Amino acid sequence: MVPAVLIDYGSGNLRSVAKALERVGAEVRLASEPGALEDSAELLVLPGVGAFGDCVAQLHARRLWEPVAAWLRAERPFLGICLGYQLLFEASEESPGVAGFGVLGGRVRRFDPTRVKVPQIGWNEILPSDPAAPLWQGLGPQPHMYFVHSFFPEPAEPALVTAECDYGGRFAAAVARPGLLATQFHPEKSQAAGLGLLANFLGTLTPARA
pLDDT tens track for 111-150 = 999 999 999 999 999 999 999 999 999 999 999 999 999 9
Supply the range of the domain harboring residue 36: 2-209
Consecutive 10-residue averages of pLDDT for the chain (210 residues): 91 88 96 80 90 95 95 96 97 98 98 96 97 95 97 97 97 97 98 98 74
Strands 161-166 and 170-177: antiparallel
**Catalytic residue (one of 42, 94, 149, 188):** 188
**Catalytic residue (one of 42, 55, 82, 165):** 82
CATH code at 167?
3.40.50.880
Q: State the total domains in the chain.
A: 1
**Catalytic residue (one of 55, 149, 165, 186):** 186
75 is a catalytic site residue: no
188 is a catalytic site residue: yes
CA distance 101 to 131: 29
55 is a catalytic site residue: no
